[in-house]
Amino acid sequence: MPSGYKSAVIHAYGSWFGALTQNKHDFFTKLATMLKSHDIKPHLVEGNSRTSKGLLAEDHLHIIVGGPAMYGVGILHAFPSYLWGFWYFDEIGTGWNSSLRFARYTKDDIDPEHAAFFFNGVTGYMLRENVSKLRQEPRMDAPLRPSTAVIFCQPNKTTQPRHNFLSTEQMIETAAKFDRDAVVYVKPHPQQTKVGRLRTLEVCEDYPNVKTSDASIHDLIESARVVITQNSTTGFEALMQRKPVITCAKSDYWHATLTPKSVADLEAAIEFGPETMRDFDFEGYFHWFLEKHCLEPTKDNFSDRAWQRIRDKLMLP
C-alpha cells in the first residue's frame, strides 16, 4: 500500500549515529527492510546536524532516535524501552514523553494465563541472569538487610524541561525520617554530574540510617519495602519483583506506581504503598506495556506491527 512518502529519514542523535552506521541494532535493520518493501527508501543522518535540521522541514517520514521529543506530521520516535528487547515506536516521544503517559491501563482483553506466562518468562530471565539496562555488580549470596526504601538517583539534566515533582534530596530526607531505625539505601547513578553526586552524598551523610550502595539493583530492590525514584528505568524494573514503586516525576508507567507531588504525599506513599499496591496486576501490566505497546524485533510480527504504526500515524486506510 503506498504511503505517500518515497523516503524515510532516520535522525540518529549522539552515539546512536555510530551504532546505526555499524548496524548494531536489528530493530533498524528489519525496519529498513520493511520500509523498502513499501517503496520507501531509508536514509540515515546525524541528529541535530545541519542536514538533519534541513530535512526535518521537508516532507519525509522522519524517525527520531535518541533525540528530543517532537510532534508533527510524519514523525515517529524509536528507542529501547525499559527492558532490553522491547522498543518504543511512538508518535510523541519515548520514556516519560511517550504517548503511554496519556493512556489508561485496563485489564480488559488481557488473558491472565498468557500475561502470567509472559511476565514469568521475562522477569525470570532478567533476575536470574542479573540483567539490566546498565551493567550491575554480581548478585549477592545472601540478601541485603531489609530496608524502608531504596532510592535510585538519576542524571542531572538541567537542559530539559522540569518534569520532577520532588527532588532527590527530598526523596532521601523523607524516606530517612520515616523510620530512623530502619536502613534506607541510596544508589547514585553512574551518569550523575560530580556536583549532583556530591550533593547526594552530602544529604546521605546527614542521616545515620541512610547507606549508599553500588550493589545490583535487583538485590537492592529485593531488600526494600518500597522503591523510590523519579522516573528511572529501575522503577520499572522493580515491578518485576512486585514491589510498590513511588515515582516522584512524570512517567509513562505511572499506572503501576504511586506518584506523590509533595513531601506529604511521599510520606503517605511510603506508609501505605505496600497495602495500596498489594493486589495490583503486575503480570497484566507487563503484558499491556511491553507486549501490546512496544515492538519486539525478534518476533515474526515485528514488520507488520511497525508498518501498522506508520499507517496509523499517516492515517492511511
**Band of residue 101 on the pLDDT scale cut at 50, 70, 90:** very high
pTM: 0.94
Residues of the chain with CATH 3.40.50.2000: 112-283
| Domain formed by 112-283, architecture | 3-Layer(aba) Sandwich (3.40)
Instruction: Give the per-residue pLDDT at 163.
Output: 80
Q: CA geometry: angle at 103 spanning 98 and 109, to 5°?
A: 125
The single-letter DSSP state of residue 143 is: P
CB 148 within 8 A of CB 179: yes
How many angstroms separate the CA atoms of 133 and 82, rounded?
Answer: 7
How many angstroms separate the CA atoms of 283 and 116, rounded?
Answer: 5
Q: What percentage of the chain reaches a pLDDT higher than 70?
A: 96
Distant-in-sequence contacts of 201-205, Cβ < 8 A, 24+ apart: 203/168, 203/169, 203/172, 203/173, 204/172
Q: State the first-to-last Cα distance of the chain, in angstroms, to the nearest integer.
A: 9
Q: Which residues have a Cβ under 8 Å from the Cβ of 230 and sit 6 or more positions away?
A: 154, 164, 166, 168, 171, 247, 248, 249, 251
**Band of residue 107 on the pLDDT scale cut at 50, 70, 90:** confident
Closest CA to 174 of 238, 226, 251: 226
Instruction: Give the per-residue pLDDT at 180.
Output: 96
How many angstroms separate the CA atoms of 256 and 243, rounded?
Answer: 10
Q: Cell digits for 240?
A: 518485576
Q: Are strands 87-90 and 75-80 parallel, antiparallel or unpaired?
A: antiparallel
Mean pLDDT, rounded, for 62-66: 98
Please, which residues bridge with residue 65 across strands? 12, 78
**Band of residue 1 on the pLDDT scale cut at 50, 70, 90:** very low
Q: CA geometry: angle at 96 spanning 155 and 193, to 5°?
A: 5
Q: What is the pLDDT of residues 137-186, one digit of tens each?
A: 999 999 999 999 999 999 866 444 468 999 999 999 999 999 999 999 99
CB 16 within 8 A of CB 66: yes
Instruction: Give the per-residue pLDDT at 21.
Output: 97
Distant-in-sequence contacts of 128-136, Cβ < 8 A, 24+ apart: 130/216, 130/218, 131/84, 132/216, 132/217, 132/218, 132/233, 132/234, 132/237, 133/80, 133/82, 133/83, 133/84, 133/233, 134/190, 136/216, 136/217, 136/218
The single-letter DSSP state of residue 258 is: B
**Band of residue 109 on the pLDDT scale cut at 50, 70, 90:** confident
CATH number for the segment(s) 7-81+294-314: 3.40.50
The single-letter DSSP state of residue 182 is: S
Closest CA to 292 of 279, 239, 301: 301
Instruction: Give the per-residue pLDDT at 313.
Output: 84
Q: What radius of gyration do the chain's Cα atoms show?
A: 21
Q: CA geometry: angle at 188 spanning 182 and 189, to 5°?
A: 145
Alpha helices in 159-279 (DSSP H): 168-178, 194-205, 217-223, 233-238, 263-276
Q: Which residues have a Cβ under 8 Å from the Cβ of 44 and sit 6 or more positions away?
A: 10, 12, 17, 20, 21
Instruction: Give the per-residue pLDDT at 193.
Output: 85
